Structure 1
């Protein structure tokens, strides 16, 4: 066990990985994925938080921060996440799940309070993508002073393609075989799949489609 820890530490040093894991939190990292992490920063704070990385997961040039209590970040088998950030900050009992076979070229996933993010299997995310469940600041009713902009979950089904520089805000729901156009701003629930959505705010512009990773 001591030898294995030494080997892991030396490997992470060579790959320029940095792990800061406070006692009471858990990092699950199988050997098949450990060798595929390069220039990755992982910070687990708070209490009873878990980062679960599946088999053969590739992480490059990214930062994962998990704080608060009883939270979960889960990355499925054979997923790839490059050049991005995954932050789950100071909340309790929330999660970010990235499905198996999903690929991310550059994205910022952010949770600041009570809400979760689910990304399904075999999704394809381009670069410069923002996915966040809240507004970061309060919007108050002028008469009552009550806050009126609570955070909301985001759900992305299996087989969704998100184009470059798209933004997905709180309450977003996307169905299978959805294609999100470049620079689209998505901020509502869509009940149809097999469609292209585009614009600010995003609306369906084409129906009856599906996508393929290959340029056929």
Structure 2
């Protein structure tokens, strides 16, 4: 393992692998503790203000793209593996408290919105890594799926997020939970198998560790100068088609095309809400 130092905004490596730095011109060197390109035609895009420590980024295949924005707490302990034709997108101003592990494989995508909080030892995977078949017709049962995490999500310690997880914006996933399904926006969820404990919630990133009795009383009700709650996603217009189209475009694109799509991406709030009339999920 050797540290990789980035001191310019564009680096072209062998086998047409590339590193692109976006944002302001680099004022300080960007250090990634372990960066490996095993395949060809891969692109790593990072924000010029990104700060990494104990980070591993490995491109195990070809034609994949990782787009990493800077974090709100100026630190990123990332363990990221990408295989063939896969995409990892990390939105803006997320807060990472500890190690974030992610394996993107089987030509799928992981997309993370903005302004989230991620605790210690979180795992995200798009695939089971091995094959499971039906005995009767020999058809595969465990196909890989994309993972989408909305904006302003709070993911607790030791949470595992598996293929097919769509976590709506504004939601909370509690300690030790396992997620492999759609999670409604503005809900509190916990468990393995995960269950919705409370709907119509919102959360604030103020840390309560140092609270005294006076602070507990002050924060018993939410107080904000604005008349609207910033993280209420229930009125967001329908973005279903945009998200599905984005996923399809990324999977059908070269790494250069993926980069072109992602650099123009104004991340859409990914929200999920139950339809009371038909008892089914809708995407907004």
Tell me the TM-score normalized by structure 2: 0.64
Q: Which residue in 2 is equivalent to 1:139?
A: 132
Aligned length: 197
Q: Which has the higher strand share?
A: 1
CA distance in 1: counterparts of 2:42 and 2:28, whole angstroms: 19
In the alignment, structure 1 segments of 5+ residues that lack a partner are: 1-15
Q: Which residue in 2 is equivalent to 1:101?
A: 93
Structure 1 residue 178 and structure 2 residue 171: aligned?
A: yes
Q: Which residue in 1 is equivalent to 2:34?
A: 41
Structure 1 residue 34: Cα displacement = 5.4
> Matches of residues 145-160 of structure 1 in structure 2 within 5 Å?
145-160=138-153
CA distance in 2: counterparts of 1:149 and 1:27, whole angstroms: 33
> Matches of residues 104-119 of structure 1 in structure 2 within 5 Å?
104=96, 105-119=98-112
Structure 1 residue 33: Cα displacement = 7.8
* Structure number with higher relative contact order (C-alpha < 8 Å, ≥ 6 residues apart): 2
Structure 1 residue 212: Cα displacement = 2.0
CA distance in 1: counterparts of 2:107 and 2:159, whole angstroms: 23
Structure 1 residue 205 and structure 2 residue 191: aligned?
A: no
> Matches of residues 1-216 of structure 1 in structure 2 within 5 Å?
17-18=3-4, 21-29=13-21, 32=26, 35-37=29-31, 40-78=33-71, 80=74, 82-89=76-83, 91-92=84-85, 94-104=86-96, 105-190=98-183, 192-215=184-207
Q: Which residue in 1 is equivalent to 2:270?
A: none
Partner secondary structure for residue 145 of structure 1? coil
Tell me the TM-score normalized by structure 1: 0.83
Residue 166 to residue 33, structure 1, CA distance change in 2 (3 Å): farther
Structure 1 segments of 4+ aligned residues over 6 angstroms from their partners: none
Two-structure CA RMSD over aligned residues (Å) = 2.2
Q: Which residue in 2 is equivalent to 1:8?
A: none
Say if 1:119 and 1:156, in contact at 8 Å, map to a contact too.
yes
Report the structure number with the largest CA radius of gyration. 2
